[in-house]
Amino acid sequence: MHIMEVLIRRYEEKDFIEMLNVTMELWNLKMKHYTKKGIDINTSIIKDTGTIPSKLNEGIIVAEVEGSIAGVVHLDFIGKKVKEAEKMSVLKLVKKYGLVRLLRVRKMGKFFEHKVKEDELHVHGIVVSNRFRSMGIGSKLFKEIENIAEKKNLKKITLEVLDSNISAYNLYKRLGFIDVAKSVFSRQQQQYFKSNSHVYMMKKL
């Protein structure tokens, strides 16, 4: 039986498109309710709006398996080094996607904004590609997240999870995260996200 090695490393510019495709396996589930479009269009919107810079981004960690990006983590912390994003002009964006769709994406983005505190490492998003599930990649990524937090002398790691995502919630519990607060969704948000709330979780270091 061939055992595939998992390499956890910092994001590099050459990873951009593959990293974006893996990220959208998670983000598309949230975006499609707002944009009414599929993953290809939503990936294109993220790319063209510069939501994720294509070059230096100290907040991205990837898991690589046999040359392929198998998992991605997006982190926020004070002092994160990020290259200014390359993006289309507003006029070109509106012409390509329509004003209403872009406003919906902006609304979605604001909903998931999190103001990071000085002693905090916030996990803005973590996803393991469907092709590489059940390899322990999520746990390996979290080990690296803790290493980063400790090197930066940060005191806690925080994240948010939909209450309907039971498998992720249970993983975070096993990794030592505790519930801190719960944000109850409006009726419209419940329809979009197929969840009743967002659970805010924390692990002290």
Report whether pLDDT(192) > 80.
Answer: no
pLDDT of residue 127: 92
Q: Encoding tokens for residue 18?
A: 């593959």
Q: Distance (Å, rounded) from C-alpha 113 to C-alpha 115?
A: 7
Q: Distance (Å, rounded) from C-alpha 147 to C-alpha 63?
A: 15
Average pLDDT of the residues in 145-170: 92
Q: Which residue from 73, 64, 66, 57 is spatially nearest to 23, judged by alpha carbons?
A: 73
108, 110, 116, 121 alpha-carbon torsion, rounded to 10°: 10
Q: Encoding tokens for residue 57?
A: 């981004």
Could you tell me if 71 and 22 are in contact, meaning their C-beta atoms sit under 8 angstroms apart? yes
User: Model pTM?
Assistant: 0.88
The confidence band for 69, taking pLDDT boundaries of 50, 70 and 90, is very high
Query: Exposure of 81 by Cβ count < 10 A (0-12 exposed, 13-18 middle, 19+ buried)?
Result: exposed
Report whether pLDDT(118) > 60.
Answer: yes
Could you tell me if 78 and 156 are in contact, meaning their C-beta atoms sit under 8 angstroms apart? no
What sign has the CA pseudo-torsion 43, 49, 51, 56? positive
Could you tell me if 105 and 34 are in contact, meaning their C-beta atoms sit under 8 angstroms apart? yes
- pLDDT higher at 114 or 151: 151
pLDDT of residue 2: 57
> How many helices (H) does the chain have, and how many strands (E)?
7, 7
The owner of tokens 């009743």 is 196
* pLDDT tens-digit series, residues 193-202: 778 888 899 9
Average pLDDT of the residues in 62-85: 94
Q: Distance (Å, rounded) from C-alpha 51 to C-alpha 19?
A: 13
Report whether pLDDT(90) > 70.
Answer: yes
Sheet holding 60-65, edge to edge: 6-10, 60-65, 68-76, 120-128, 156-162, 197-204, 178-184
From residue 74, alpha-carbon distances to 91, 92, 141 in Å are 29, 27, 11
Report whether pLDDT(82) > 70.
Answer: yes
The confidence band for 157, taking pLDDT boundaries of 50, 70 and 90, is very high
pLDDT of residue 103: 86
Domains of the chain: 6-204 (3.40.630.30)
From residue 164, alpha-carbon distances to 20, 60, 176, 192 in Å are 24, 25, 19, 12
